Amino acid sequence: MEVELMKTEIDKVFDLQKTHSLNMRSSTAEERIGLLRSLHDWVLEHREDIKKAMYADYRKPYTETDITEIYPVLSEAKHTIKCLKNWMKTKRVPTPVTFLGTKAHIQFEPKGSSLIIAPWNYPFNLAICPLVSALSAGCTVMIKPSEMTPHTSALIKQMISELFSENLVSVIEGGLEASQLLLAKPFDHIFFTGSPMVGKIVMRSASDHLGSVTLELGGKSPVVIAPDADLKDAARKIASTKFINCGQTCVAPDFVLVPRSLRDEFVQNLNEAIDTLYSSDGQGVEKSADYGRIVNERHFNRLNQLVEEACKNGATLAKGGKNIPEENFIEPTILTMVKENMMVMEDEIFGPLLPIMDYENIDDALNFINKMPKPLALYAFSKSDKKLGYIFRKTSSGPAVSTDCV
C-alpha cells in the first residue's frame, strides 16, 4: 500500500477505534468472553491454514506450529475465558487510619485504544496472544504483524476481518513505514514484541503521548553447566530447545558455559542429542521434516558471517558447517574454543549456532554473565539445589530455570 493511502487508512481506523473504546469501557465479561470464544473457534477451525501459511513463510514444521503457535493461543483464550469474570470483579481494599470512616475499592477499567506490534519468529502466537489480553481488558486493537512473514500476516488480516468490526480490531500490514505511522498516533497502550533496538524506538514514541508500553524484547540467554550436572540430560534439553524454530526463539539457549574438564564429553552428548532429534535415519538434518529454515537471506548471511568470524579467530566447528543458500538452511552448529571478543558473543544469535565457552571456576562463569547486559533468561544444570541456588543468587536475569531450558 502506498504511504499516503496507508496514512489515510490508519488515521480513519484510529479515530473509529478511539470513539469505540469509550463504548468498550462498559462492555461486560459476557460480551468480551463472546469475542474470545469466536477467536478460539476460528483458530481451531483453521489449524491447517495456519500451518500452511507458516510453512510457506519459512518452512516451519507443522508439528512445531501446532505446539508453539496454535496451542498457546487456544490455551490463552481458554484460560482467559475461564478467569475473566473473576478478574473483572471490583475488589474491596482497606483504607488507612488517616482516612477513618471511608471505604475504598479497585475497579478495573480498560486502558482504551491499543496497538500490538508483532515480530516474525512466532508470527501467529505473538500477534494473537496479546490480542486475547487486549480484548479481555476491553481495549480496541490495531495489530501490525511482521512484514517478514507475509503469508501469516495475510491470514491474520483475513481472520480479524471475518471476526471483528474494524472499530474494534483491525490489521495494518507493512514494514517500517506502517510502524512509524502507527507509532505517531496517541495509543493508550502499546504492546511490542521484538528487538531491543526497536523497543527503544517504541518507548520513545509512546513517551510523546505519555502512553504506556509492554516491551517483550530479546537478549542473550546463557546456560551454566555446573561440574556435577547430568551431561546427557543437559545436552538433550539444550538441543531440543535451542534448535526448535531453527534457533529463532527469544529465550533459546544462546551460549553454554561448561567446566573445561567436561567440555569434550558435553559436546559429544550434544552431538548425539542433535542427531537423535533430526537425523536418526542418518539422512542428514536437511532432510528432516522437523527442522525449519532461517527466515530470509539477510539473516542467513548474518549467521554465516558469525561462524566465519569465530572460526577465523580460533573457534572450532564441533558440529555443523553445512548450509544450503537457496533454502536458507543452516545445520545445527556447535562452536568450541569461543572467546568473549568474538562477534557471536556480542548480540543475541537468533539462529542455530551454539557457542560453548569453558571455565575453570564457576565464579568466573558467573562473573562473565554479570558483565553482560542482563540475560533475558538464565538456565543452570546441576544435581544440587544448593549449587543451583548459588548460581541464581549470584546472577540476575529474567526467568531463571533449573535443569531445563525455555
Nearer of residues 56 and 201 to ligand NAD, judged by Cβ: 201
Does 292 help bind ligand NAD (rule: CB under 6 A)? Answer: no
Nearer of residues 61 and 123 to ligand NAD, judged by Cβ: 123
Cβ atoms of 256 and 325 closer than 8 Å:
no
Which of residues 17, 113, 136, 193 is near ligand NAD by CB under 6 A? 193
Q: What is the DSSP letter of 119?
A: -
Residues in the chain: 406
Give least dist CB 110 to ligand NAD, A: 23
What distance lies between CA 75 and its chain's CA centroid? 17
Does 127 help bind ligand NAD (rule: CB under 6 A)? Answer: no
Helix (H, G, I), strand (E, B) or coil at 208: helix
Does 348 help bind ligand NAD (rule: CB under 6 A)? Answer: yes
Does 306 help bind ligand NAD (rule: CB under 6 A)? Answer: no
Which of residues 147, 173, 230, 272 is near ligand NAD by CB under 6 A? 147
Angle among Cα 258, 259, 264 to the nearest 5 degrees reads: 75
What gap in Å lies between CA 22 and CA 246, rounded to an integer? Answer: 43
Site string for ligand NAD, 218-257 (x = CB under 6 A): x-------------------------------x-------
Does 123 help bind ligand NAD (rule: CB under 6 A)? Answer: no
Does 146 help bind ligand NAD (rule: CB under 6 A)? Answer: yes
What gap in Å lies between CA 226 and CA 403, rounded to an integer? Answer: 10
Does 259 help bind ligand NAD (rule: CB under 6 A)? Answer: no
Give least dist CB 198 to ligand NAD, A: 3
The type of residue at 125 is N
Which of residues 97, 176, 210, 289 is near ligand NAD by CB under 6 A? 176
Give least dist CB 352 to ligand NAD, A: 15
Nearer of residues 158 and 195 to ligand NAD, judged by Cβ: 195
126 CB-near residues (< 8 Å, 6+ apart):
118, 119, 193, 216
- Respond yes or no: is residue 216 known to be catalytic: yes
Which of 102, 98, 107, 87 is closest to 25 using CA atoms? 107
Cβ atoms of 179 and 117 closer than 8 Å:
yes
Which grid cell is 121?
Answer: 519468529
Which of residues 112, 119, 211, 332 is near ligand NAD by CB under 6 A? 119
Query: How far apart, in Å, are the Cα atoms of 15 and each of 113, 131, 175, 223, 330?
Result: 10, 19, 22, 47, 46
Give least dist CB 397 to ligand NAD, A: 13
* Count of residues interacting with ligand NAD (CB under 6 A): 25
Q: Taking the chain, what is the end-to-end CA distance rounded to the nearest angstrom?
A: 38
- Give the H/E segment covering residue 225: strand 222-225
Other Cβ atoms within 10 Å of 72 Cβ, number:
17
What gap in Å lies between CA 286 and CA 91, rounded to an integer? Answer: 56
Give least dist CB 70 to ligand NAD, A: 17
Among 68-76, 195-203, 269-277, 333-341, the segment contacting ligand NAD (CB under 6 A)? 195-203
Catalytic residue among 246, 250, 331, 405: 250
Q: Which residues pair with 244 in a beta bridge?
A: none
- Number of residue whose CB is nearest ligand NAD: 218
Phi-psi region of 318 (alpha: psi -120 to 50; beta: other; left: phi over 0): alpha
Does 175 help bind ligand NAD (rule: CB under 6 A)? Answer: yes
Does 216 help bind ligand NAD (rule: CB under 6 A)? Answer: yes
- Respond yes or no: is residue 250 known to be catalytic: yes
What gap in Å lies between CA 310 and CA 38, rounded to an integer? Answer: 50
Give least dist CB 297 to ligand NAD, A: 14
Among 26-34, 187-195, 328-336, 366-374, the segment contacting ligand NAD (CB under 6 A)? 187-195
What gap in Å lies between CA 269 and CA 246, rounded to an integer? Answer: 19
Catalytic residue among 147, 177, 216, 272: 216
Residues near ligand NAD (CB under 6 A) are 117-122, 126, 144, 146-147, 175-176, 179-180, 193-195, 198, 201, 216-218, 250, 348, 350
Which positions are annotated as active-site residues?
A: 216, 250
